[in-house]
Amino acid sequence: MNTVLAGHGLVKKYGSTTALSGVDVEVGERDSLAIMGPSGSGKSTLLHTLAGIVRPDGGQVLLRGERIDKLGENRLSALRRKRFGFVFQFGQLLPELPAEENVALPLMLEGMPRGQAVERARRWFAPLGLDGLERRRPGQLSGGQAQRVAIARALAVEPDVVFADEPTGALDQTTSTEVIRLLTSVTREQGAALVMVTHDADVAAHCDRVLQVRDGRISNHTQYTVA
Ligand SMILES: Nc1ncnc2c1ncn2[C@@H]1O[C@H](COP(=O)(O)OP(=O)(O)OP(=O)(O)O)[C@@H](O)[C@H]1O
Ligand SMILES: [Mg+2]
């Protein structure tokens, strides 16, 4: 496996709570990893630590072999914008902006002129089944459509890794399947890695591998397909 992102011996404590106690994890190019486990087991903490949102108290996070967990806040946030994409359960689109401008936003934050960013953003609409919805505002989209816009936004910067925390948590079963198929396939086509937290075993089954987290440790690791 061509490793893109790795966490080695990750430890995270909140006061007397140990959210992560020595977790090792790796994801490669075109690789998708689902993180499952009971509520409070440390799934989001693990995802946020790998994504440079939460700093570990022990261990290392490496992006293509380079440590990122000790970077200063400015460099780390620039790295997150450029190299990572994020999809959350809901509430991530700006309600006052049309869909295409929501997708263009991360590119504009990187300094791309508005016209060019919107043009680049529009290219994502057809592959995600969003043709014709470019000018709709988030409030005028269904939950599944809004999640697909969020996926387009995560991918627009052509990130190394896409992180998703319960990306289908607010969707019904049919819509959830559709969204997860697109998320995994488009991420793979881009050559990016996917790290996803989900409670839904059907959703996890669309990923190449599943990590079970329990009390801040990996309790099981299932490989569905041979990469
Ligand atoms: N910012 C924080 N401050 C204090 N404790 C925290 C913080 N974030 C997480 N925790 C604690 O760390 C543990 C792991 O939390 P985490 O959010 O990673 O769980 P989770 O597996 O994502 O749960 P869920 O499925 O409910 O989202 C929990 O005991 C939680 O209460
Ligand atoms: Mg969580």
Task: Give the model's pLDDT for residue 158.
Answer: 95
> How many domains are there within the chain?
1
pLDDT band of 119, cuts 50, 70, 90: very high
**CA pair distance 210, 4, nearest whole angstrom:** 17
Range of the domain at 25: 3-223
149, 82, 92, 116 alpha-carbon torsion, rounded to 10°: -50
pLDDT above 70 (res 226) = no
* CA distances to 96, 126, 143, 144, 152 from 122, in Å: 18, 8, 19, 18, 9
pLDDT band of 225, cuts 50, 70, 90: low
User: Which of 183, 187, 227 shows the shortest CA–CA distance to 209?
Assistant: 227
Higher pLDDT, 8 or 171: 8
Tally of residues, the chain: 227
For residue 75, which phi and psi values (nearest 5 degrees)? -65, -35
pTM, two decimal places: 0.94
Task: Give the model's pLDDT for residue 170.
Answer: 85
Task: Give the model's pLDDT for residue 125.
Answer: 95
pLDDT, one tens digit per residue, over 53-94 is 999 999 999 999 999 999 999 999 999 999 999 998 876 899
Average of per-residue pLDDT across 143-162: 95
Among the atoms of ligand 1, which is closest to the Cα of residue 46?
18
From the CB of residue 108, how many other CB atoms can be counted at a distance below 10 Å? 15
CATH number at residue 48: 3.40.50.300
Residue nearest to atom 4 of ligand 1 (CA): 14
Average of per-residue pLDDT across 185-204: 95
Task: Give the model's pLDDT for residue 89.
Answer: 83
pLDDT band of 216, cuts 50, 70, 90: very high
Average of per-residue pLDDT across 22-31: 96
Q: Which of 44, 217, 218 to mutate to test the pocket of ligand 1 (most atoms within 8 A of CB)?
A: 44
Average of per-residue pLDDT across 10-29: 97
pLDDT band of 227, cuts 50, 70, 90: very low
User: Which of 216, 223, 219 shows the shortest CA–CA distance to 59?
Assistant: 216
Q: Which residues surround ligand 1 with Cβ inside 6 Å?
A: 14, 17, 19, 37, 39-45
Least confidently predicted of 13-27, 94-108, 168-182, 192-206: 168-182
